[in-house]
Structure 1
Amino acid sequence: MNLKTWTILALLFTLFFSCKFTQKITDGKMAYERKQYSVAVTMLNKEYKKAKSRIEKGKIAYLLGQSYKHINKNSSAISWYKTAYDNQFGVDALKEYSYALKKNEQYEEAMASFKELGLEIGSPYEYRKEITACKVALDWKKQGETNDYKIEPATFNSVSAEYAPTPYLDNQIVFTSDRSAATGDKTYNWTGTNFSDLFIADPESGAVQPFPSPINTPNNEGTVAFNNDFTEMYFSRCYDEEGGDYFCRLMMSTREGDHWTTPTVLSFTRANINYGHPALSEDGSSLYFSADDPEGWGGYDIFVSEKTPDGWDAPRPLSRNINTSGNEKFPFIDKDTLYFASDNHTGMGGLDIFKSFKTRDGSWTPVHNLKAPINSGWDDFGYMINRNFKPHDDILQEGFFTSSRVDGKGNDDIYRFVKKVPPPPPPTPVEENPKPIVYKMILDGYVLEKIYQFADNPNSKVLGRKPLLDSKVDITVNGKKKTVTVDEEGKFTLELEENANYSFFAQHEGYFNNSSRFSSKGIAKDSKNPITKYEVEIVLDKIFKNQEITLDNIYYDFNQWNIRSDAQPTLNQLANTLLQNPTIRIQMASHTDCRGKANYNQKLSQRRAQAAVDYLITKGVDESRLEAKGFGKSSPAVDCLCSRCTEAEHQANRRTTFRVID
């Protein structure tokens, strides 16, 4: 075959696959789904002008709000969310509108909107904390006008994301970015941008260079920590193993001369858990990091591992003064002070930066919000202090932090701050006979139920939660148990003992039992805040007898029925529910879509249902309480003509479900 023939075939091959796989963006919704948000804005604006019905206008307006949100144009997003809600899009638009107002620091309007949202879904409870946070943020914002911090954007920001600065050699800093110089040419599906890498920056000149080999790879690298002499580094790398889901691991490398060794995974990391944001204590003996470990208190929590002669010991979560049911991330240690970000402690917007002090007995004091201008309505995180800075004149401290606030160049940008010496506080009168400080820890517990879009359909959207009155809660501490009934707000209150572990077991007729826990261990006393308050929430699911409930995130490989690792968390949760409700019997069912022969689909679905049952048995559920049933394609969730079913409809029909039969 001559060169000309090869050339013609190559051209035909290229044209064929270009036509096959390159699909032209035809409308705003497609552009949005492809994460081409700027393109979506242009197309959706044109489509909105042509829309005739209010329903159609509402759908387009909501997508416009979402598109503007993704390109960091929050003011435009606010306007379109409001338009979507006014055009009958529903509570999703009102919810996004409320949070966008809060992010824009329009706290008065946000409070009114959150109040309306609670009434709309039938539960003022759901957004009460957001309303309180807006009230507090208003005061903090006013205080920020006379604050002792001065901030400015770092010289090395780009239109891409830069975040999580860390001190490095020669007064340089290392940060994470998905800028175009990052290794590899693939796009990260979670963000629609490049994979992230580590970079070195000179804060004075603004010069940036990639971190030396072999640290950066075509995978996601980020959030690094170094020991004091910069001979050890710890960072996160996110990748898949053997084609599975992406998870982030903590890696370690050592410097030998001018080179860094090939990174290795820290031994304590476990499968199906994301680890990140490492930080080292000053002496290098304690490694702090964030993880979504189920042994934490919920969401991402901050853990600590201690260095031993054999490596790092088993991590343990920090106390409930630090960790909440939300997300705690990006720790940074400066002597006895822990700085970190949280979206659950009372704050001004999304993630806020907080600090806590470690006491002599190793416990942590109640957290303090750094307030404005460090914190804002946007995400603020990745705080670091320049340990090499020497105070001079009226400047006490220098450092950097990350923010997504609107005046930046990209989605996340790094800001430099200097902290001035504060003016002396006004003199306080000295009491002749001061009263002794009385310390208390108060816990409010709430028992809640889900609010479904359609009350009789557990597969419909969950709009929020509301108090479940008349629920009973067994409280166990130090081997002693007592039972309480919640009040008209679904609440019970107790004063906590010091250094004690509490367990809560909630029950209500017609609902699945559920449990929670709390520990007062590691909580230090703070004379400035002698009375500290905490919360736990216990959600009880209503029992819908003989009604099929779809389990999310359970997928199977083609023609296979083994339980994949990404399905295990959902089945683990179901197993835990069954173990707490020992009289319940269920049927596990599997369904296929309409494609393929009926006999083949029925056998495959039966094997998949049985595999789910077998997995639950390995988790301690008695097999007499479980029944496996394969339905094949005989009972579709969406009844569509097979040749005309969309892929989304096929996906809805391929499902694993359970139903309570006794």
Structure 2
Amino acid sequence: MKTLLKYILAIVFVQGCFMANSQESKVKSVKDDYNEFAYVKTSNVLLSVAENGYRSPEMLQQLANSFYFQNKMKEAARWYGELFKLTTDVDSEYYFRYALALKGAKNYEASDKWMEKFNELNPSDSRAKSFIARRDYRNQIEENSKANIEVNNLDFNSEYSDFGTAVYDGNLVFASARNNDEIKYQWNGQPYLDLFKVYSYNDGEYSEVSDYNSKINTKFHESSAAFMPDGNTMFFTRNNYYRNRVKKDEKGVNRLKLFRVSKDVNGNWGEIKSVHFNSDEYSVAHPTINKEGTRLYFASDMEGTVGDSDIWVVDINEDGSLATPRNLGASINTEGPDSFPFVNSEGDLYYSTKGLPGLGGYDIFVVRSADQKIADNVTDNYVVTNIGGPFNSNADDFAFYENVEKENGFFSSNRTGGKGDDDIYSFNLGECKQVVKGNVRDKQSGALLPGAIVVLKDGSGNELERVIVGSDAAFMFNVDCDKQYLVRGSKEKYSVEEKRFDTNDASLELNLDIGLSPVEIAIQPCDDLAKALNIPLIYFDLDKYDITYVAELQLQKVLAVLVEYPSMTLDIRSHTDCRAADEYNQKLSENRAQATLKYLVKSGIDPTRLTAKGYGESQLVNDCGCDTIDTSECTELQHQKNRRSEFIITSFKGKNCEE
């Protein structure tokens, strides 16, 4: 009996070893496929291995990555989860990918937890910094979302990938893998992309899809067209190949290049030319051109790139030649992939990125008036905003296009419910009829306050309209849809109160009463007015010094006291925490102090009543100093106490502060 048991155990052991060796051989068999980006084949083989119970860190990394790079985020999240069950000793990038994959599965709370772990491992990464600075990103995105926009999946989408739209001569020009060639792209198992066109009729209907141009399309990838304003020159993306042979970089990667083609005297597309800054060692792709035809924007990972790929710009000279490309900088670009730029007729820059807090993979963001700022050589302090739903989802959302005059446009997405992989969606903004009205009252007694001043401002704080309320203390403003506004109420011997609101509904009558509180504070020279008014921190966005909406609401309280007491003078003092170089923190605090002073002066305060100075990290209020590499074990809340603004009363009612 014992002998029989030994034989059985031996057989089981041999079978186990054989199965393990068999699974290991399968893993090794797709190593070259994985390294050559054949993610479909890799995931198919490794999935069968994993489902048979075999586990190793390398295998799970490759399996999860293969799904991740195919944008199959639910599957990626599953196998990244298995990887972390096996080991946490992996590169920090896997923490970020797992967090992003969890968003694709709509598991936002778990995603945020893994982003916190990513931040602990890599706090200097711009993606970690953005997450920490925007912990309430889901609320912000919800506020930016628009309920009155009609979104439609277009009928001409195929079962394959369809994305990117440019409008030319009444046609939509887009990229698609629908050509049904036998040659398949190993990355996703689909045919290579070509450019196609479909005519757009005024009634919203479309013609049959046709090949854009046989001279431009090849057996490899062509995508992302952009046209000069006169329609005589087109830029587009194509694989790097020469004389029907693919060219690769030193790592064996076939890169993307940017090409241009102009019409000849007969109106036909002529010779296709490579732009001068293409290279075999990096990619250049996804062009867009501003309204004037003076600047070309594109995505690239060329030298000087912040992350995986960045948004770049190059001037278009009067003779049509291109100048030297410039990176748009860390205010716009992240350490993730930044791609698919588009500039509308108002100079707003839209682009997609995985490097800023969003709802899924690629989210669409906008920088208002970016083209003009770039023309003026403004290199920082861009305000980057997630445009919210219905454009962004838990999937990849990209290739935004907008016709400002017609209030419609297109974007691409691989969200659930589409016809194929990536689909093209149209959107229409719809009609807007909105009114905001209310009364001004004493916040304590509820009494009406005739004679109060109510000001309507846009989302940037620019005054649009003001009224002095009558005996009924009532006000009413007509407003546009899909905008952010602010109403400010003020009256002598009362505090200034502001309320911010969004007009997201197609038809809205918003009742917005304003309650003002009598100004009653006990203050004297040398007091900090911020403490006397119970003002919390004056919040600035990470590494920036422009006055945010939240900061403005608090500064209005300071403004009210300065208006009420015209003899009062203040010294504005700005402080940072220790987490950056001393010189950088000093400059940042100086800029923030001056920005605060300028805001109060712009609001009507005599500049002779104000002084401002930055102190950097020289006056910490706790023991949260940093080591020689600017790191600290303190919590975020502890650091936050050091990031403060003070408003020291230097003179009041004829008395001076004697510090």
C-alpha displacement of 1:95: 5.1
Equivalent residue runs for 1:388-407 within 5 Å: 390=406, 397-407=407-417
What is aligned with 1:495?
Answer: 587
Q: Tell me, yes or no, if the aligned pair for 1:101 and 1:109 is still in contact at 8 Å.
A: yes
What is aligned with 1:370?
Answer: 387
Unpaired runs of at least 5, structure 2: 1-23, 438-486, 497-537, 545-575, 592-601, 604-627, 630-659
Partners of 2:539 and 2:321 lie apart in 1 by 39
| Deviations 1:199-256, CA, capped at 9 Å, x for gaps | 1124634622111131112332221111234222111222145855334332221234
What is aligned with 1:408?
Answer: 418
What is aligned with 1:211?
Answer: 212
What is aligned with 1:75?
Answer: 74
What is aligned with 2:112?
Answer: 111
Equivalent residue runs for 1:18-57 within 5 Å: 27=26, 30=29, 34=33, 47-48=49-50, 50-51=52-53, 55=55
Q: Tell me, yes or no, if the aligned pair for 2:163 and 2:422 is still in contact at 8 Å.
A: yes
Q: Tell me, yes or no, if the aligned pair for 1:443 and 1:494 is still in contact at 8 Å.
A: no
What is aligned with 1:159?
Answer: 159
What is aligned with 1:509?
Answer: none
What is aligned with 2:453?
Answer: none
Partners of 2:321 and 2:145 lie apart in 1 by 47
Partners of 1:105 and 1:487 lie apart in 2 by 36
Question: Is 2:301 aligned against 1:292?
Answer: yes
- Report the TM-score, using the length of structure 2 for normalisation: 0.54
Equivalent residue runs for 1:622-661 within 5 Å: none
Alpha-carbon spacing, 1:237–1:64, altered in 2? closer, same or farther (3 Å): closer
Moved more, 398-407 or 26-35: 26-35
Moved more, 239-248 or 147-156: 239-248
Amino acid at match of 1:415: Y
What is aligned with 1:277?
Answer: 286
Amino acid at match of 1:209: S
Alpha-carbon spacing, 1:28–1:70, altered in 2? closer, same or farther (3 Å): farther
Partners of 2:152 and 2:132 lie apart in 1 by 29
What is aligned with 1:348?
Answer: 359
What is aligned with 1:176?
Answer: 175
Q: Tell me, yes or no, if the aligned pair for 2:179 and 2:194 is still in contact at 8 Å.
A: no
1:261 to 242, 251, 270: 270
| Deviations 1:605-661, CA, capped at 9 Å, x for gaps | xxxxxxxxxxxxxxxxxxxxxxxxxxxxxxxxxxxxxxxxxxxxxxxxxxxxxxxxx
What is aligned with 2:543?
Answer: 443
Unpaired runs of at least 5, structure 1: 1-24, 391-396, 445-484, 500-526, 529-538, 541-662
C-alpha displacement of 1:302: 1.9
Q: Tell me, yes or no, if the aligned pair for 2:118 and 2:128 is still in contact at 8 Å.
A: no
Partners of 2:542 and 2:73 lie apart in 1 by 38
Q: Tell me, yes or no, if the aligned pair for 1:248 and 1:273 is still in contact at 8 Å.
A: yes
3-state secondary structure, aligned to 2:110: helix
Amino acid at match of 1:220: H
Question: Is 2:350 aligned against 1:339?
Answer: yes
Question: Is 2:323 aligned against 1:316?
Answer: no
Amino acid at match of 1:493: N
Partners of 2:263 and 2:320 lie apart in 1 by 20
Amino acid at match of 2:411: F
3-state secondary structure, aligned to 1:155: coil
Partners of 1:45 and 1:273 lie apart in 2 by 32
Amino acid at match of 1:236: T
- Report the TM-score, using the length of structure 1 for normalisation: 0.54
Partners of 2:387 and 2:315 lie apart in 1 by 26
C-alpha displacement of 1:383: 0.7
What is aligned with 1:148?
Answer: 148
What is aligned with 2:7?
Answer: none
Identity of aligned residues (%): 25
Alpha-carbon spacing, 1:422–1:317, altered in 2? closer, same or farther (3 Å): farther
What is aligned with 1:195?
Answer: 192
Alpha-carbon spacing, 1:490–1:378, altered in 2? closer, same or farther (3 Å): farther
Q: Tell me, yes or no, if the aligned pair for 1:281 and 1:335 is still in contact at 8 Å.
A: yes
Task: Provide the alpha-carbon RMSD of the alignment.
Answer: 4.5
Amino acid at match of 1:377: N
C-alpha displacement of 1:308: 2.0
Amino acid at match of 1:347: G
3-state secondary structure, aligned to 2:418: coil
C-alpha displacement of 1:375: 1.7
C-alpha displacement of 1:429: 2.6
Partners of 1:219 and 1:359 lie apart in 2 by 36
Q: Tell me, yes or no, if the aligned pair for 1:28 and 1:41 is still in contact at 8 Å.
A: no
Amino acid at match of 2:543: L
C-alpha displacement of 1:192: 4.8
Moved more, 419-428 or 207-216: 419-428
| Deviations 1:28-65, CA, capped at 9 Å, x for gaps | 7746864776676666565445437xx45x77666554
Alpha-carbon spacing, 1:420–1:254, altered in 2? closer, same or farther (3 Å): same
What is aligned with 2:552?
Answer: none
Question: Is 2:398 aligned against 1:381?
Answer: yes
Alpha-carbon spacing, 1:278–1:146, altered in 2? closer, same or farther (3 Å): closer
Partners of 1:345 and 1:80 lie apart in 2 by 24
Q: Tell me, yes or no, if the aligned pair for 1:59 and 1:89 is still in contact at 8 Å.
A: no
| Deviations 1:521-544, CA, capped at 9 Å, x for gaps | xxxxxx99xxxxxxxxxx99xxxx
Partners of 1:132 and 1:289 lie apart in 2 by 28
Partners of 2:335 and 2:68 lie apart in 1 by 26
Alpha-carbon spacing, 1:146–1:292, altered in 2? closer, same or farther (3 Å): closer
Partners of 1:238 and 1:152 lie apart in 2 by 31
What is aligned with 1:472?
Answer: none
Amino acid at match of 1:51: G
Partners of 1:48 and 1:334 lie apart in 2 by 47
Alpha-carbon spacing, 1:132–1:154, altered in 2? closer, same or farther (3 Å): farther
Amino acid at match of 1:378: A
Amino acid at match of 1:98: A
Question: Is 2:186 aligned against 1:86?
Answer: no
Q: Tell me, yes or no, if the aligned pair for 1:176 and 1:198 is still in contact at 8 Å.
A: yes
Partners of 2:330 and 2:42 lie apart in 1 by 43
Partners of 1:231 and 1:290 lie apart in 2 by 23
3-state secondary structure, aligned to 1:493: helix
C-alpha displacement of 1:381: 1.6
Partners of 2:41 and 2:186 lie apart in 1 by 18
Q: Tell me, yes or no, if the aligned pair for 2:141 and 2:387 is still in contact at 8 Å.
A: no
Amino acid at match of 1:429: R
Partners of 1:294 and 1:39 lie apart in 2 by 32
C-alpha displacement of 1:374: 1.1
Question: Is 2:138 aligned against 1:138?
Answer: yes
| Deviations 1:483-506, CA, capped at 9 Å, x for gaps | xx994788852435999xxxxxxx
Alpha-carbon spacing, 1:128–1:231, altered in 2? closer, same or farther (3 Å): closer
